[in-house]
């Protein structure tokens, strides 16, 4: 082997060993954990999803229909591996709620569902952050999961203050933040109700509507209560290409873009935004419990 080739080989080998060593550093483990494949598909009458409950998890911040989850426990029902990855690495992701924040991996990652229950030995000492670390270690152990984070510029939207200034009501509530879709006045409309919500939370929620990633650039701090009503047709996207569609001819509501400016005093500007996501380098079907 030539000297240059040998140096390249040694360099790559050392890098791979270093990455493995970093990933294998002492991660806290769960006391007991169960991961089982399931063929059950969530529907209107069943829940698919879950969360990890730490001492800093506030009531109302977890999925409303989630199965009862004890302190110091992670419980997920009928989810794909990317769902678990998004939760485990959620603190590092730009938009944890978006499915496409996890890239790569074998096809079964997005076709095989799993049930997961994992419990820490000392629940009263567990925060969401430590449970995320435990979940990362568990996925590495059971799925032989190897991932890395990547940053990329994508076409998306920046959320800015409109020229007329913000039209936001400061929240006086001490309730946990909540942004949710509500029953609209008309089926051709879409209604978002927010309570004690931040602008970063609003941007993250807008990112789940199918228009692409939205990044908060308002520089507005604090928590606010607001409602946002717009034509349902205006959140339509075509083959992943972000568009600013016109509202349905039968709807009297404004487009999403107009509604944000008229009702909230904010505006969406189409631009390239920086997004951090997880790339799956390797994964195997889970070992037996």
Q: What is the pLDDT of residues 30-89, one digit of tens each?
A: 999 999 999 887 765 556 788 999 998 877 667 666 778 999 999 999 999 999 999 999
| Residue scoring higher pLDDT (198 or 98) | 198
Query: What is the b/e burial string over 85-112, where b = at least 16 CB atoms within 10 angstroms of the residue's CB?
Result: bbbbbbeebbbeebeebbebbeeebeee
Mean pLDDT across the chain: 83
Query: 253 and 76 in contact (C-beta within 8 Å)?
Result: no
The string of DSSP letters for 231-259 reads EGGGG--BTTB---PPPPTT--SPPHHHH
Query: 77 and 49 in contact (C-beta within 8 Å)?
Result: yes
Q: Is the whole model's pTM more than 0.75, yes or no?
A: no
| pLDDT score for 13 | 39
């Amino acid at each position: 082997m030539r000297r240059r080739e040998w140096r390249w080989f040694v360099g790559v080998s050392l890098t791979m060993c270093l990455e493995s060593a970093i990933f294998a550093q002492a991660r806290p483990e769960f006391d007991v954990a169960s991961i089982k494949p399931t063929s059950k598909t969530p529907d209107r009458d069943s829940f698919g999803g879950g969360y990890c409950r730490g001492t800093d998890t506030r009531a109302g911040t977890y999925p409303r229909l989630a199965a009862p989850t004890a302190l110091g426990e992670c419980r997920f029902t009928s989810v794909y591996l990317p769902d678990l990855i998004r939760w485990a690495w959620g603190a590092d992701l730009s938009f944890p709620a978006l499915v496409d924040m996890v890239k790569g991996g074998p096809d079964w990652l997005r076709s095989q569902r799993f049930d997961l229950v994992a419990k820490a030995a000392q629940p009263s000492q567990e925060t969401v952050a430590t449970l995320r670390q435990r979940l990362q270690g568990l996925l590495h152990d059971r799925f032989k999961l190897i991932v890395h984070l990547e940053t990329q510029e994508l076409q998306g939207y920046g959320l800015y203050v409109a020229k007329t200034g913000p039209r936001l009501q400061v929240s006086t509530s001490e309730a946990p933040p909540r942004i949710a879709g509500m029953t609209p006045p008309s089926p051709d409309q879409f209604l978002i109700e927010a309570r004690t919500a931040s602008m970063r939370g609003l941007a993250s929620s807008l990112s789940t509507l199918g228009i692409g990633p939205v990044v908060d650039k308002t520089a507005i701090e604090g928590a606010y209560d607001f409602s946002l009503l717009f034509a349902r047709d205006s959140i339509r996207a075509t083959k992943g290409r972000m568009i600013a569609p016109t509202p349905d001819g039968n709807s009297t509501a404004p487009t999403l873009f107009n509604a944000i400016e008229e009702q909230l005093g904010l505006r969406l500007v189409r631009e390239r935004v920086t997004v951090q996501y997880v790339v799956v380098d390797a994964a195997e079907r889970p070992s037996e419990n």
